[in-house]
Amino acid sequence: MAMHLGKLSAGSCWLAARGGCGELRSWSLSCAAGRFCRAPGTACPEQSRGLGYGPTAGGGPRLRTGLAAGLAAGLAGLAGLAAAAFGHVERAEMVSKSSGAPSPSPGRPEEEDDELARRCSCFMASPVTDLHELRRRPGDMKTKMELLILETQAQVCQALAQVDGGARFSVDRWERKEGGGGISCVLQDGHVFEKAGVSISVVHGNLSEEAAKQMRSRGKKLKTKDGKLPFSAMGVSSVIHPKNPHAPTIHFNYRYFEVEEADGNKQWWFGGGCDLTPTYLNQEDAVHFHRTLKKACDQHGPDLYPKFKKWCDDYFFIAHRGERRGIGGIFFDDLDSPSKEEVFCFVQSCAQAVIPSYIPLVKKHCDDSFTPREKLWQQLRRGRYVEFNLLYDRGTKFGLFTPGSRIESILMSLPLTARWEYMHSPSENSKEAEILDVLRHPRDWVH
């Protein structure tokens, strides 16, 4: 069943908050503008002042932190839960020089209940997990990640609706019979956005053999019991397609994954990223976007942005076209060190960077004039977006291979409209040729 969210303005708006969060209640803008998710009674470790590289047993790069750094990620809807076996299968790691993140402070149960209820009142819908279960395990990473992705979803939807000035978000709460569910918020045919989706999922069950095979192909050693591999996964995923060809498309997702092996051992990791796909190159926009992401990464170490920026350029490569999907951003996967707390805090910083990195660009260009030729080029570039997502994207493939996955949410990233023309080629020295050159030869946008 879908609910509809009316126009969000400077006043308050209404949303459904069920399952212990109360009935229909007012959502003030101060809710969504609040701090990012942190489980009641817990705190992030102190941020690191620097990270460096060191060798790992597997030969890949390893990041080292000074003080207790916060490197984090989360897991995007089912469409981005885990990474499949395509493209670059590099594994990100961090190693802390400290003894680890501080343990959560206890806090009183009444304060935790009040805090949880307050935060739930700001979400687009009540949490997927029962509130009693969330209260029972406030320090568990699954609780903290679910609250983070719900808060991120609410804040991004609120910011988009304000910019659109009249859009209606469809809030679709769904359940997965194998375990868990999600909340998909989708805006279509708005004033500014042709299609904008922000989806969260919190799922659990047993991995399919195909999904486990894809993970093993990335170097993960997973031991099954009677052919079964229990998992828990959660994340937020979003793709936003504006109408104006001068306003860029953005994608972000942050996810968390746990797998329990036959011997009871649990493997966990984070993944995610954020990237920009403009139809036309605007140097100022590109610099702003990348500098905002770099600022978020630099809070946890100076080497993170360069590493994850390159990984992003490599991952979003459309091999059969010889070009990238967009002008990049950051991307990381299989991040499982130095600690859950430190990785989690890194993702919080990344999630907080989404709105300031993107919303100013949409406001800047949403009323720009454009020609039919420019609109045509936007449709052709969206065709490339579709090609990457269906042929190469790990998360899409993982979702399609997962039993009980929700196809509508997995394919939410696809634009409402796209176009393919036979043997289309932009003229030399045109604005279209300019962006193609950037997509074929990634640039350094921050130096």
Write out the catalytic residue numbers.
251
Helix (H) or strand (E) holding 234: strand 230-242
- The pair of structure tokens assigned to 7 is 């126009």
- Would you call 438 helix, strand, or coil by DSSP? helix
Helices (H), 165-218: 209-216
Distance between CA 161 and CA 4 in Å, rounded? 12
Question: Helix, strand, coil shares of the chain as percentages rounded to 5?
Answer: 35, 25, 40
Q: Which residues contact 75 (CB under 8 A, 6 or more apart)?
A: 81, 82, 145, 149, 233, 234, 235, 253, 254, 255, 256, 257, 270, 271, 272
3-state SS, 335-364, equals ECCCCHHHHHHHHHHHHHCHHHHHHHHHHH
Nearest Cα neighbor of 418 from 396, 369, 373, 385 is 385
Q: Any residues with CB less than 8 A from the CB of 24 and at least 6 apart, and which?
A: 14, 15, 16, 17
For residue 413, give the DSSP letter: G
The DSSP line for 143-175 is HHHHHHHHHHHHHHHHHHHHHHTS--EEEEEEE
